[in-house]
Amino acid sequence: MVRRRSRIDHRILDGYLTAETNILTAEEVKALVGTMRITVEELIEQLLPWTAKKAVAPVSGFKVGAVGRGESGNLYFGANIEFAGQAFHTTIHAEQCCLANLMSKGDTGLRALSLTASPCGHCRQFLNETNSASVLKLYLPGEEELNLSDLLPIGFGPKNLNIDFSLLDPQDHQLTLASKPDDELVEIALEAANSSYAPYSKSYAGVAIRTRNGQTFRGIYAESAAYNPSLLPLQACIANLVMAGRSMREIAKAVLVCKKDSRVNHAVTAQALLKSLTDVPLNIFQAE
């Protein structure tokens, strides 16, 4: 169980946190724990309520926060995101949001994950896809330190389907477009598709979004051995946009790059979700 400190100078912590903050680098973490004289776990405990406030929960009203510690030592924030008027399966869980954030920054592992609420079965299965699943530490309110295997005792993952690599292992599918794109946003989406994780369907895909103020975000497709918990590229991209303090109403352009003749039709699901959020069309490019 994480020890609680009765006296923590939140003015120091607040100096690092803005609406746009979606990550604390390893260097910032080191500076904070040194200045505040607390452990990394105690720092994360203080960050969780702030992170949960980033959640978008118009359906349930239940906000969940997640803080993941990457292999790099960076801390990545995540929160649940719901879509009013859409089916429940479009919901982005806080754990998925945190992983989308980590993947977009190119981190190659997840050491530990702290949450404001116990993960549902959907998310336990999604986390079991990561390359650190067998040693992943989980910190839940009022609980001692847990391993993912404590919550998923008879797990089902990539190795059960004869896949010898896992989510967060570096990927490069070397997809190319028929002609050189004239927009950087297409290149960002192509890069996301090339780093996507789709060992079961081989339906590599990535999404890139530009907001009205010119910021760009990318979303990387991530499959699960159980299929349904898979994170779609538009979901991942929206997660990164929201965690950076931007509103879905600020979307100015959206691009999907997907592998030609894929088993999964990413365009259909992405178009339906995007249409419920904005009038901005989805620009679709097929790569080989």
User: What pLDDT does residue 241 have?
Assistant: 98
pLDDT higher than 60, residue 57: yes
- Domain definitions of the chain by residue range: 17-161, 184-287
Cα separation, 144 vs 193, in Å, equals 38
Neighbours of 77 (CB within 10 A): 26
Active site residue 95: yes
* Max CA distance (Å), the chain: 60
How confident is the model over 172-224, as pLDDT tens digits?
Answer: 999 999 988 889 999 999 999 999 999 999 999 999 999 999 999 999 999 99
Cα separation, 175 vs 198, in Å, equals 13
How confident is the model over 93-108, as pLDDT tens digits?
Answer: 999 999 999 999 999 9
Torsion of CA 38, 44, 50, 55, to 10 degrees: 180
- Counted residue by residue, the chain has a size of 288
- Amino acid identity at 175: L
User: What pLDDT does residue 12 have?
Assistant: 87
pLDDT higher than 70, residue 5: no
| Residues near 284 by beta carbon (within 8 Å), at least 6 away in sequence | 255, 256, 258, 267
What is the percent of the chain where pLDDT is above 70?
98
User: What pLDDT does residue 7 have?
Assistant: 58
Given the candidates 1.10.760.10, 2.70.98.60, 3.80.30.20, 3.40.140.10, the CATH classification of the domain at 17-161 is 3.40.140.10
How confident is the model over 223-245, as pLDDT tens digits?
Answer: 999 999 999 999 999 999 999 99
Q: Which of 226, 219, 215, 224 is nearest to 258 (CA)?
A: 219
Domains 17-161 and 184-287 share a fold: yes
**Domain covering 184-287, topology:** Cytidine Deaminase; domain 2 (3.40.140)
How confident is the model over 118-170, as pLDDT tens digits?
Answer: 999 999 999 999 999 999 999 999 899 999 999 999 999 999 999 999 999 99
pLDDT higher than 80, residue 276: yes
Which one is catalytic: 95, 129, 143, 223?
95
